[in-house]
Amino acid sequence: MCILEDPTENVFGIFDIDATKSQVGERLIDDEDLIGVALLPVAALFAGDLLCLDFRESRSSPSVCVWDHANSGEFHPVSYCVAKSFKDFLKMLTD
């Protein structure tokens, strides 16, 4: 479900979370038996990469990473850590 009430009426409607997730499917998890998500997209970046919350190390305190779509394969996500926590990521934006 999209966060926006009506994505067709909003300039940011193209970033509908359902549409983003459906584009990458199994490329965001590294275990085909995993229930849930390993990388949760929160923003689209340049050239198809995604800013993600990374739950692979901790289910309760995800880090923030950039998912590299060009180098990722099915059940083999390639990502680069940006911040150890979402709070640290927000602090980077305000500093």
In terms of pLDDT, which residue wins out, 83 or 23? Answer: 83
Q: Which residues contact 13 (CB under 8 A, 6 or more apart)?
A: 2, 4, 6, 7
Residue type (1 letter), 21? K
Q: Which two tokens stand for residue 65?
A: 């990473």
Residue 61 near residue 51, CB atoms below 8 Å: no
Helices (H), 1-95: 17-24, 86-94
pLDDT of 38-67, one tens digit each?
A: 888 888 888 889 899 998 899 889 999 999
pTM of the model: 0.69
| pLDDT value at residue 33 | 64
